[in-house]
Structure formats: structure tokens, C-alpha cells
Structure 1
Amino acid sequence: MKQLETRDDVEFLVNKFYEKVGADKTIGFFFNDVAKVNWDLHLPKMYGFWESLLFGSASYKGNPMRAHFPINEMQAMEKHHFEQWLKLWIKTLEEHFEGEMAEAAKTKASNIANLMAHKMKMARR
């Protein structure tokens, strides 16, 4: 196991995570069928997002909440979907990384999952 320390580590983590996501029965369809994600565009955004969140770099430009509202309109994104997303994130982290930054990545992802679930629910009312 290694520490989560660099942009290369973030890219590795994000790639491994989205391999799981794309194949997941609970949430994979959001990416593959609903949003029809272009992975060549999406993955670099996620590298920047997590690098910014974890290391304080300014490599991410965007509004992740705004990007999810149109998907939520097509197919409801519910609490259990975000719980599965978080479960896959934590599993991926624990398979490859340890230490303070890995724990921070779990905490930040948990906060994101809770906030996103709440915002998507409110948007459907």
C-alpha cells in the first residue's frame, strides 16, 4: 500500500474507480446509458477535480453540481445511487492507498455523496 501523494496517484485512483463504476449494476447505467459519458473528456476533469480537492491545486474548473442536474432530470439520482458511488470509491481507495490523504479522500467523498443526494432529491420536488 502506498500514500496518496501526487497527480499520478490521483489519475491511477480515478481510473481504477471508474473501471468499477462503468461495470457496476447499480450506477453504471448513469454513465454508460443516460449520460453517455465520453471518458476521454470526463476522466481528465475528474483528475483535476480530485487533485484540486485533495491537494489544493487549481486544476479543476467547473461546477460538478450543475453537471448532474440534467442527468437527474432524465433519470432520478437517488440516495442509494450515491451510497453505491461512495462504496466503490472507498473500496478503490482501500485497495491501493493508505494514510492521511486516503482518509481525507474518503471523508471528502462522503460529504460529496451526501450533498449530491440531497441536492438531487430537492431538484426533483
Structure 2
Amino acid sequence: MAIDEAFISRLVETFYKRALAHPELGPLFDAKLSGRWSEHMEKMKSFWSAVAFRNGAYEGKPVQAHLGVANMTPQLFSNWLELFAATLSDIAPNKDVETWFMTTAERIARSLALSLFYNPALDDPKYNNQ
């Protein structure tokens, strides 16, 4: 894909700089990560490195890390994806890299959102007919 650890680092640093400046994402991230930004940045670099290179660099638990985040809503995942897409559009070395990372981010966001917000009762036909 023509990427390396330097690209992963740039992607993470650029995205989170923008996330902190975002009117909705910034306060959420800052409240959760205040005083732990450098640790989080290294963790996210390990995460994306593990995803991109399948190198086992990440050993965290993403769902547990997002549980109990104050003021988190499903809509914020859309905001996150929009910002991630804009970041990739600006820094990805080519369209293949942009597409692969965006497709992967969408899958991850969907998985996290389902883990955090899915209510199986909503699939019950007796609720869908009302």
C-alpha cells in the first residue's frame, strides 16, 4: 500500500490534532484523555500499525476503552468518520491507501457503535410494528 510507520504516525497525529479542535469531538476526547494524551497517541499508533501491518502491535480492548465515556452518542461516530475521511483526503499518499483506511475505519466505527449502543429489543418484531 506504500505506507510505513511514519505514515501511521502522521495520520494519528494529524487526526487527533483536528479532533481536539472539533467542536463536538474535542471536548469529549479532552475530558476522557486529559493528562494522558501522549499515552493515547502511542496507543493509537500501535492500534493502526497493528491494523495496517497485522503485526500484533496493539493489545488493548477498544470496546472497554469506550464504555462509560460521558456524552458519547452514536452521531459522534459519524463526526469521527467525517473528520477521519478529511484527514485521509489531505495526507494519504494515494487513493488506494485512502480507500483502505476509510473502509477499515468505517468497519471499526460500526463495530464500536454496535457494541456500545445496540439494543437487541429493537429487532423484536413486536417493537417494529408500532
Q: Sort the TM-score into its range (normalised by shorter chain).
A: 0.7 to 0.9
Q: Which amino acid aligns with 2:34?
A: K
Structure 1 residue runs of 5 or longer lacking an equivalent are: none
Q: Which amino acid aligns with 1:60?
A: Y
Q: Is structure 2 residue 81 aligned with structure 1 residue 86? A: yes
More RCO (CA 8 Å, sep 6+): 1
Bigger radius of gyration among the two: 2
Structure 2 residue runs of 5 or longer lacking an equivalent are: 122-130
Q: Which amino acid aligns with 2:8?
A: V
The TM-score with structure 2 as length reference comes to 0.82
* Corresponding residue for residue 63 of structure 2: 65
* Percent of aligned pairs sharing the same letter: 26
Query: Could you list the runs of 4 or more consecutive aligned residues of structure 1 that deviate by over 4 angstroms after TM superposition?
Result: none
In structure 2, relative to structure 1, the CA distance for the partners of 1:5 and 1:95 (3 Å cut) is same
Rounded Cα–Cα distance in structure 2 between residues aligned with 1:18 and 1:57:
23
1:26 is matched with which residue: 9, 12, 24?
24
The TM-score with structure 1 as length reference comes to 0.86
How many aligned positions are there? 119
1:49 is matched with which residue: 47, 50, 56?
47
- Residue 4 of structure 1 and its aligned partner are, at CA, apart by 5.2
Rounded Cα–Cα distance in structure 2 between residues aligned with 1:34 and 1:17:
17
In structure 2, relative to structure 1, the CA distance for the partners of 1:50 and 1:37 (3 Å cut) is farther
